Amino acid sequence: MPVRTKQIAESADGAGVGAATRAARAGRALGGLGASCHPLPAAAVTLFAAVLAVAAGHGPPGVFLVAGAVAAGQLSVGWCNDRADLGRDLATGRRDKPLVAGTVSAAAVARAAGAALLLCVPLSLAAGPLAGAVHLAGVAAAWGYNLRLKGTVVSWAPYALAFGLLPAFVTLGLPGAPWPPPWLMAAAALLGAGAHFANVLPDIDDDLATGVVGLPQRLGARRSAVLAGLLVLGSTAALVAGPPGRVTAYGWVLLGATATALLLALRRPAGRLPFLTVTAVAGADVILLAAELRP
């Protein structure tokens, strides 16, 4: 092969390898970005909101709008959380976090959080001024948790506020902008507070080592587990007893199953089982809640 032809071939091979390497890096970065948004909670909350929107009487455009706004808000909160926790995650060696593992850059996560938050604003306001303001207040509370309130005695409050306002965002986007009944908002707020305590349980020791002293860290794992169970059980009880009329058979079964599941899951606070149990209970609660919201 002539020298010139060989050089061209080698250059082409090098360019191909370089392109493949860049593509592989981009794929890893996208995967890391997806993993750092807390995909399970984000997907669960978005799905719950969409189900509530259907049950409340939204048509397909309204359901997609609610789901889109909630998804954008949840993505922004998840990316904000991982970026805010980077220093603490590095200190505790959290190699399961994409930012610590180096699969995505801190700058990319920060940009993604900002872009999702900017997208959340018009999507929320498209449901109506009051509905949009309510949803953005919930998202702002979650950002406040990430950036400041996580390490304070009121660490539970942003969760309670954000979850409590979610049914209001759904119903206020309907014609006439009706508020949901108080028992429904109370049930959602109790569920959010319970989710906070359950979610923190596996990380209490690492949090204390890095100076994060929210209410669960101050109470300790055992008492926080008990409180998480009581809050989630209270949420289910509010959904069962709040609506007028007789309690349905599903309501009684749900209340008993919730108590049993929480008792079993929270006996050992370590690990992700308590949070996954709370997520499962939330799904069952949403089925009941959707039946109550049905016009």
Domain assignment present for 175: no
Same domain, 59 and 148: yes
Q: Is residue 51 part of a domain?
A: yes
Say yes or no: 106 and 34 in one domain. yes
Write down which residue in 118, 139, 155 finishes a domain.
155
Task: Compute the average pLDDT of residues 160-189.
Answer: 94
Residue with token string 């304070």: 152
**Would 162 be classed as within a structural domain?**
no
Same domain, 123 and 186: no
160, part of any domain: no
Higher pLDDT, 9 or 43: 43
Banded pLDDT at 295 (limits 50, 70, 90): low
User: For residues 144 and 139, what is the distance between their CA atoms, to the nearest angstrom?
Assistant: 9
In a shared domain, residues 141 and 24: yes
Q: Are 193 and 161 in contact (CB under 8 A)?
A: no
Query: In this structure, what CATH number is given to the domain that contains residue 212?
Result: 1.20.120.1780
Q: What is the mean pLDDT of residues 7-25?
A: 55
Number of domains in the chain: 2
- Structure confidence at residue 254 (pLDDT): 77
Q: Are residues 39 and 151 in the same domain?
A: yes
- Is position 23 within any domain? yes
Say yes or no: 100 and 57 in one domain.
Answer: yes
pLDDT at 14 over 90: no
Give domain status of residue 118, yes or no: yes
Residue 272 has pLDDT above 80, yes or no: no
Domain co-membership, 149 together with 204: no
Domain endpoint, select from 137, 155, 173:
155
Q: Are 74 and 122 contained in the same domain?
A: yes
Q: Which domain holds residue 136?
A: 18-155
pLDDT at 16 exceeding the cut of 60? no
What pLDDT does residue 15 have? 52
Q: Tell me, yes or no, whether 122 and 45 share the same domain.
A: yes
pLDDT at 266 over 70: no
Report whether pLDDT(160) > 80.
Answer: yes
| Average pLDDT of span 94-121 | 92
pLDDT at 286 > cutoff 90: no
- Segment 264-283 shows an average pLDDT of 71
Is residue 220 in a domain?
Answer: yes
For residue 2, the Cα-to-chain-centroid distance in whole angstroms is 61
> Among 121, 137, 155, which residue terminates a domain?
155
Mean pLDDT of all residues belonging to the chain: 85
* Candidate from 59-68, 192-201, 248-257, 262-271 with smallest mean pLDDT: 262-271
